Amino acid sequence: MLKSMTGYGKAEKEYQGKRITVELKSLNSKQMDINTRIPPYYKEKELDMRRSINNTLQRGKIELNIFVENFSADTNYSINKELAKKYFRELKTLSSELHEEADHDYLSLLIKMPDVLVNEKSTVDEEEWQILNEGIDECLKNIEEYRAAEGKELEADFHQRIDKIEEYLGNIASFEENRIDNIREKLQKDITELLNDAQYDKNRFEQEVIYYLEKFDITEEKVRLRNHCDYFRSSLEENQSNGKKLNFISQEMGREINTIGSKANDTDIQRIVVLMKDELEKIKEQLANIL
């Protein structure tokens, strides 16, 4: 079952007059890359959060955001006045440069700025951590569902494109017999023009033609390409999502298609090769987002 690396999850929890909002975003990446934006109050639990995310999502560019809103008068927060003053000066300067009116409610803006409200508690109690952890788990579940749904759509698209490549591959056969005849006729014409008809051994010529045509034979490449298509299709049906494996198979498919194109020596077959390359390129683009 394929899984996309793209996903989004959001959860809201209540605890002692606070609303804790957890957001998780996931994008494609070759490795696991986790970026966090969390209140300083939760920093002591950051390693646990990262471990939980890494164990579940495995790979991707992950962004974790946690926002806390306080509604209770009984809080342990104080205002970082120096930082608030710095924000105030910056806002006033920006307002002047933009020629904005001066009657703004700066206090309501300042209180929402990062790190203006400072939590005086040094540790997170177990009950709050349990609630926060439930929010993270809920976001992870949402992302997993999102990834699976998008992976299912991509899987259907891959099947269609592999079928199309095999269809184009089958169309090559109708041009192969004429291709061999055309190569033989061209060789014979070139030699006849270069030499008098009596000056070359026709039996030797046929032997050389056979040797020459073997270098243009694409039977082996066609068989390998069809086998790669079958392998790609069977890998789509595996229980685990393995985008790297599918990417390796697609690279092998590309090699066979390129070799067919270089050996073809026929405009009709080369047109088919271009169509196969187009389908394969679209597959590779989508594989960049597969877990």
Residues near 101 by beta carbon (within 8 Å), at least 6 away in sequence: none
pLDDT band per the 50, 70, 90 thresholds, residue 97: confident
pLDDT digits (tens, 9 = 90+) for 263-285: 887 889 999 999 999 999 999 99
pLDDT digits (tens, 9 = 90+) for 102-153: 667 777 778 777 777 766 665 778 899 999 999 999 999 999 999 999 999 9
Q: Supply φ then ψ for residue 97, to 5 degrees.
A: -65, -30
Residue 213 has pLDDT above 70, yes or no: no
Cβ–Cβ under 8 Å, residues 259 and 221: yes
Cβ–Cβ under 8 Å, residues 76 and 117: no
pLDDT more than 90, % of the chain:
54
pLDDT band per the 50, 70, 90 thresholds, residue 12: very high
Cβ–Cβ under 8 Å, residues 256 and 225: yes
Q: How far apart are CA 99 and CA 5, in angstroms?
A: 44
User: Average pLDDT for residues 157-179, to the nearest whole number?
Assistant: 91
Look at the pTM and tell me if it is higher than 0.85.
Answer: no
Looking at residue 273, its pLDDT comes to 96
